Amino acid sequence: MKTFTTRLIILFIILFSLSSCQQEKQNPLRIAITKEKPSKYVQNYSGWLKRYDPGIVWLNMYPMGIDSALKVLNSCDGLLVTGGEDVYPGLYGKAADTARCGTIDRYRDSLEIALINKGIVDKMPVFGICRGLQIINIDLGGTLYVDIPTDFDTTVVHRQKDWRNCFHPVVPEKGTLLYRLTGKEGGNVASNHHQGIEKKGKDLTVSARSYDSLPEAIEWADINNRGFLMAVQWHPERMDTTDAYSKPLAREFLEEAEEYREKSGMN
């Protein structure tokens, strides 16, 4: 009898586990990605998140058109604003400097600003990478150095031709969420960019800087009934899966997305 009872208990545990797994598969996190790299890239943005939650569903917002993307965002649990082209400098009062920029995509600028605004209003978790940091900063009233080598006196190499191997140190600001997540006084990051934050946007604080004091990460200065927002100038998707400046950031973003989904489900 004891053996039979034990078998029943084991069977119940197995069935319960299978049921839970099936439920999780049927209700995965949905992450909106403003523009994803082609699938031929191993180090793409969705791949970065899937390292830590293989079951997520990601949606590439770029091909949808702005109105459709905004509607789709209603069904998402988080917004990832990704790297890419220069942001049009006219958005931060420097239209005359357009010739000093590289490729510009005005449609993408408009799409991402619309998505960022909605994400912030809805208190949805928002995470920015490289260009993503820059356009979040611009959207909140900040400005950029149009070209770091000519506008900002520095000996730190922020961009080079071999972008896959452009690393430099950053130092997090004590007391910030980034500092608590990384648990380190500093580290090397894969950061390759010729533009950077000049004036930070409203209600933001700089949470990490490179050795030349250039901002390399931002977050809310005071959460103050806002949703999660963090952005980094570096590329965590290009870094080691266990790196303190990559893994904890993805995990925090995904955990915030999970909390957002749970709260949304209760409303």
Enzyme catalytic residues: 130, 235, 237
Task: Note the helical H segments in the chain.
Answer: 2-26, 45-50, 66-73, 106-121, 131-139, 148-151, 177-182, 247-266
**According to the 3-state scheme, what is the secondary structure of 98-138?**
HHHCCCECHHHHHHHHHHHHHHHHCCCCEEEECHHHHHHHH
DSSP summary character for residue 227:
-
> Nearest-5° angle of CA 57, CA 60, CA 66?
130
* Spatial contact of 121 and 113, defined as CB atoms under 8 Å apart: no
- Residue with tokens 């702005």, as numbered in its chain: 66
User: In 3D, which of 97, 75, 85, 55 has the Cα closest to residue 254?
Assistant: 55
Structure tokens at 67: 């109105």
